[in-house]
Chain A
Amino acid sequence: MRIVIGEGSCGIAAGAGKVHTALTEALRGTDASIGIAGCIGMCFLEPVVDIYDGKTLLKRLVKVSADDAGAIAKAVKNNDLSAVSYLEISEEDSVFLKKQTRIALRRCGLIDPESIDSYLEDGGYNALKKVLSGMSPEDVIEEIKTSGLAGRGGAGFPTWFKWNAARKSEGEEKYLICNADEGDPGAFMDRAVIESDPHALIEGMLIAAYAIGASKAFVYVRAEYPLAIIRLQKAINEATERGLLGDSILGTDFTCRLKIKAGAGAFVCGEETALIESLEGKRGMPRLKPPFPAEKGYENKPSNINNVETFANVSWIIENGGEAFSAMGTENSKGTKVFALTGKIKRGGLVEIPMGLTLREVIYDIGGGIRDNKEFKAVQLGGPSGGCIPKELLDTVIDYKALSATGAIMGSGGMVVMDEGTCMVNMARFFLDFTTKESCGKCVHCRIGTKRMFESLTRITEGNGKEGDIELLTELCEGIRSGALCGLGQTAPNPVLTTIKYFRNEYEAHIKEKKCPAGECAALRQFVIDPEKCKGCTLCSKKCPVGAISGSVKEAHIIDTSKCIKCGQCKEVCRFGAVEIR
């Protein structure tokens, strides 16, 4: 038997490394082998351990801890896996994967990301062989055009068009760049692909480099992703040793070198021209477009930039044909899209679905709905550049046009679900806090505009909102949207505009009634004890740092609101749910 432990960053954070050590110890002396895989995307069940017989999956164990190692080893030795059935994934949770269609993630969690043989055995590099043994660069571009593949980094620009522009651009030396900066806080699709299937990225990039005529390529990886960098470097080394990367690839005259550049932490560097500046070692300040990177990119040479997920689809398209890809999806959005489903969701993780499914299907059928039996309130797509979509629009289909029509965007794949306890004004404030800090400062609209918006939103959440604040915010939004130099500023108003559009009543409650309906804004909440529920255990009054809670043993306690500093500690210690926020 073969035991495979899911060791992506999140698996490791959940304790997969400890499980690995414990299993290695427990299985010593048996003929079972232990291996690793990347992230299967079921983050809510980490650590995940798969038991295989050859290629057949016998059992998938979930939420495994190091303490389970003994039981697993015993079951393996006795050849009786029913003994560990208590760890097996439930029918209900299996739905999470069954309802997905995986292309970009097709090998994630199934192969060993640290072994090129594992990739080759699964048909890896066949697409590259097909390309180099008979397709012209134009054929490749044509196939991608047929597929309808659009950029997965956010803007959704047709990939073939960019490749074609870079191919046609004048110049001997051209560059191919992969954008793995993944700046949207709350998204981790690209990290998962690199950590789990790095060769898929390399293969996709090689095909692209061949198509545009580039012999030098870079992957710009976010600094916060150390494991991704290690695995990608290993993959590059192995591919180079096997003649799949570097000089005269597969014995042809196609040459391409690939280098990793670690980012240094700046959201704006996800913007393609800022990324190029950063690659050159400078401050990551966006350039004015045009000229587009296809004409003047890295070192002023023609360059093409694509996102990780975009590249991860390429080898599948070459192998299966563009038509197979375009058969999935909607009129104007083809293929599949990966989302990082997080927030107040029951089953959070990586979800890849064909375009055209509705948000409801993703959140309820795959994600299992909201945690702790709470009410769904909104879903945030596209991070700081995107928007919040309310309950009424849950039947919106996932498609570039349909999502843009709501005021949000498809984005790179962040999908954060919020329940009734999330304050939408504070959510807008959160994103503006982010964009204010991340604004590079080059243009005034973005540098000062985001700051002014942040200040207004802060005022409102602190109970100092004024009549006219909503109008002021809307005006600022329009100004920034039309005046900012790059996408960061142009899209920064989206979180504010969508929350005003769909949750205006919450803004008004903050401003006029000085109330936070969600009970999240500290300055506006009042803590009260429900006398029916309070058992008089005195825990809260002992915990209260300012002595605001009074009452005798076994009698209902009372909070003196004039003393209360709203720290919430009483609510946290109460075992009877008697402390309420109003």
Chain B
Amino acid sequence: MCENCCNSDLTLMADVFSDMQKNGDNLITVLQKAQDIYGYLPTDVLYEIAAKTGNSPAKVMGVATFYTQFRLKKVGKYLILLCKGTACHVNGADSIEKAICEELGISDGDTTDDGLFSLKTVACLGCCSLSPVMMINEETYGSLTPSKTVEILREIKGREAK
């Protein structure tokens, strides 16, 4: 079917569908809940959602690809959200992106081969006064420089190597 040809455990969606019946959740809400469960939106889950919500798979895919929040691929253990909003741009976000890409050998939207890091650029994390800013999983790092960024990444790598 696809590269993510996954055998997702569809039973995990049972509560989501029953909530949907009860509260009238719309398609976006259902997709958000599914992503919370699987970490991304596997193709077989999208088909299941289409069937259960009475939409065509094309429509579900249309919504899933419209919004930046939805991911169709697995992400790494550490998801780097790099802000490229206006304030971060003015304060040098491009050089931070370059540093990350060079250090990890990936570009925006990719995951490293070892499955450790994924990089995603976003527009404004709302911490503009600390720009340039990135977020790794739940933690926010501000006032970055290229070398500080590399240090942070190496520290995580070091921790993981142990």
Contacts and interface: CB of A to CB of B under 8 A. Distances in A.
A151 interface: no
Contacts of B12: none
Given A13-B130, A187-B124, A418-B90, A281 B140 contact: no
A281 B126 contact: no
A224 B142 contact: no
Interface in B98-129: 98, 122-129
A532 B128 CA distance: 37
Interface residues of A, number: 55
Contacts of A279: 26
Interface stretch (A261-269, A443-451, A452-460, A552-560): A261-269
A478 to B, nearest CB: 25
B4 interface: no
A109 interface: no
Contacts of A418: 90
Given A343-B87, A422-B90, A430-B86, A188 B68 contact: no
A104 interface: no
A568 to B, nearest CB: 7
A434 to B, nearest CB: 6
Contact of B126 (A9, A417, A569): A9
Nearest to A266: B67
Interface string A360-375: 0000000000000000
Contacts of A283: 62-63, 66
Interface string A403-445: 0000000000010111000100001001100100000100000
A329 interface: no
B128 A281 contact: no
B85 interface: yes
B131 A266 contact: no
A342 B128 contact: yes
Nearest to B122: A224
B91 A343 contact: yes
Interface in B26-84: 26-29, 31-32, 62-63, 66-70, 83-84
A524 to B, nearest CB: 14
B83 to A, nearest CB: 8
A417 B28 CA distance: 36
Interface footprint category on B: 35 or more
Contact of B127 (A9, A278, A568, A572): A9
Contacts of A12: 140
Contacts of A440: 66
A407 to B, nearest CB: 17
Contacts of B89: 427, 430
Interface string A6-24: 0001101110000000000
Contacts of A182: 126
Contact of B130 (A43, A344, A383, A572): A43
A342 B129 contact: yes
Interface string A381-397: 00100000000000000
A266 B145 contact: no
B124 A185 contact: yes
Nearest to A343: B90
Contacts of B8: none
A349 interface: yes
A264 B31 contact: yes
A264 B32 contact: yes
A568 B29 contact: no
Nearest to B68: A265
B21 interface: no
Given A187-B124, A224-B126, A414 B67 contact: no
A156 B98 CA distance: 39
B126 A10 contact: yes
Contacts of A187: 124, 128
22 contacts: A9-B127, A13-B133, A13-B142, A43-B128, A184-B86, A185-B85, A186-B88, A186-B128, A224-B122, A224-B124, A264-B28, A264-B32, A266-B68, A267-B123, A283-B62, A283-B63, A284-B66, A342-B87, A343-B87, A348-B129, A417-B90, A567-B98
